Amino acid sequence: MDQMILDYSNREPIYIQIYNHFKEEIINRNLQKGEKLPSIRELSADINVSKTTIETAYNQLVVEGYVNNVPKSGYYVVEIKDYLFPETKKSVKQDQIVQSRDYINNGVDKKSFDIKVWKRIYGNVLLEQENELYTSGDEQGELVLRENICRFVQKTRGVHCTSSQIVIGAGMQSLLGILCSLLKTKYRNVAMESPGFTHAKSTFEDYSMNIIPIGVSEEGIDIDILKKSNAKMVFLSPSHQYPTGSVMPIDKRLEVLNWAKEKDALILEDDYDCLIRYESRPIPALQGLDSTGHVIYFGSFSKILLPSIRISYMILPQSILELYTSYKRQFSQSSSKMEQLALAQFMEEGYLKKHLRKIKKIYYRKNELIVNFIKKNARNKINILGHDSGLHMMFEITTNKEVSEILKDAESQNIHLELVEGFQKDKLVVVFTYSGLEEDVIEKTLDLLMKKVF
C-alpha cells in the first residue's frame, strides 16, 4: 500500500483525503479482498490526525461499499468486481469554461432603466408579499401580472383578451415549446417568414415540425405563396418584421386572416419591438382584427425593459385556451414568481408607461446618430435598409471581403453582426443591433466597422 501523504494546503477536508487514498488503493487493487485497514488508533497516531477524522473517512468507505466494518475486529476490504474505473489523478484541471459573449452593441441602454425603482419594488415584494414567496405559483403565471398585461395590451396594442387567456413564460421559446407540444399533431406544417426569427425556427425543428420558408417584401410575408402552401400555421411579425422592419398593410392583414379562417389555420403573431417606432405611431396588433379566434399573440418585456427579466407572454384564442387548460398541469412555470410580482407592481405604479416614453427618446437619438454618420462617412460602403423602428438596422454592404471574414473581424472587435440570407439576391446584408451601444461610442463603433470589418 502506498504511503499516505496529506496536503494541509489543500482546501479539501482531511477526512476526504484519507477516504480518497484508501478508495484509490482498493480500486487499483493495491488492497485486496479481505485485507484489513489500519486500526483507527494506529492510523491516528501514524499520520497525527484525530480518531474522529479517521472514523469519518472509514464510515464513508463503508457507506459506499468499499469496506466492511466487522464489530470488535476492524475494517476489511470487500471484493470489487472487475471494472474499468476511470483513471484517478492527484490534481484534476478544471474544465475550461466557455462563457457567452457580451457584445458591445447587444443588450439595452444602461441609462434606460431606473434600477433604483426596480430595487425598491423588488424589496416591497419581499416585505409586503412574503407569504407569496413560499409557493411556486400559478402554472399559467401570476394573476396580478396577467391582469396588468391584459390592460397594457388592450391600451397600447388594440388586443382583445381577458386575463384568463394569457400564459406567462420565461421567453418566447419557452412559450413556443408549450404551444408546439399541444399543436404538433394537427398543425405540423408551419410557414415562416424568410428571413425571420431563427430561434422560433429552432423551436419548431425541435418538435419535428415541417417548416415552409416564405419570402418577405416591404409589405411582409408573401400571402399568395402562403395560400398555395400546405401550411396549417404561420409564424409572422406583421407590425415590425424581424429583421427587415416591414409592416403589413391593412389589406394584407385582412387577407391573411381570411386565409386562416378558410383553412382553419393558426396565425402566431410575434409583436416584436412593436412599440418602438420613430416616425409614426405603433401599428395596432393583428390580433385586434381577429373575430374568429385564429390568432395567437406573443409579447415580451425582455427588449423594452431588461434582457435579464425573462418574462414573455402569449394570448390564446378560446379553442386553444381550452386545450391548454386541460394539459397545463404538465407545464411548470418557467418565469420567476418574484419577478412576476415585481413587474406587476412596476406596471400598476405607472413606471412602464414612463419607461416607454424614455426609451423611445434614447433610441431615437441613437438611430439618428447612426443614420447621419453613415450619410456623411459611409455612403460608399453601407446602405441602410429601413430605420423607422426597432433597435436594429439592416445594412447592405459593399465590400470585397468574404462573409466569414467580415463576421470574424466583427467578433474580434466585440461587435455582433447577423448575416441575413436570401433577402436580396447577390447582395450582402447584415443586421446591426444598436440597443446596447452608449451614445458616445456609436460613431467610434461605426468607424471600426468601416475600417476594420467591412
pLDDT in tens, 422-452: 777 788 999 999 999 999 999 999 999 999 9
Residue 41 CB neighbour total at 10 angstroms: 10
CA distance 367 to 372: 9
Query: Residue type at 397?
Result: I
Does one domain contain both 202 and 87? no
Buried b (16+ CB within 10 A) or exposed e, 218-247: ebbbbbeebeebebbbbbbbbbbbbbbbbb
Q: Of 349, 382, 407, which closes a domain?
A: 349
Does one domain contain both 155 and 92? no
CA distance 67 to 79: 9
Determine the pLDDT at residue 6.
87
What is the per-residue pLDDT across 263-294, written as a single tens digit (0 to 9) for each?
Answer: 999 999 999 878 888 877 788 999 999 999 99
What is the per-residue pLDDT across 53-80, written as a single tens digit (0 to 9) for each?
Answer: 999 999 999 999 999 999 999 999 998 8
Q: Of 317, 349, 381, which closes a domain?
A: 349
**Span 341-369, average pLDDT:** 95
Does one domain contain both 149 and 247? yes
Q: Which residues does 286 contact at the CB level (< 8 Å), separation at least 6? A: 238, 239, 248, 253, 256, 257, 267, 269, 295, 297
CA distance 244 to 221: 11
Number of compact structural domains in the chain: 3
In the chain, % of residues over pLDDT 90: 74
- Cα distances (angstroms) measured from residue 427 to each of 99, 130, 192, 421, 422: 33, 57, 22, 9, 9
pLDDT of 97 strictly over 80: no
| Domain contains 116 | no
What is the per-residue pLDDT across 3-35, written as a single tens digit (0 to 9) for each?
Answer: 788 888 888 899 999 999 999 999 888 899 999
Does one domain contain both 235 and 372? no
Q: Which residues does 128 contact at the CB level (< 8 Å), separation at least 6? A: none
Determine the pLDDT at residue 98.
58
Q: What is the CATH number of the domain that holds 382?
A: 3.90.1150.10
**Span 173-185, average pLDDT:** 94
Q: What is the CATH number of the domain that holds 17?
A: 1.10.10.10
CA distance 277 to 270: 16
Determine the pLDDT at residue 93.
55
CA distance 165 to 217: 32
| Domain contains 205 | yes
Q: Of 305, 323, 349, which closes a domain?
A: 349
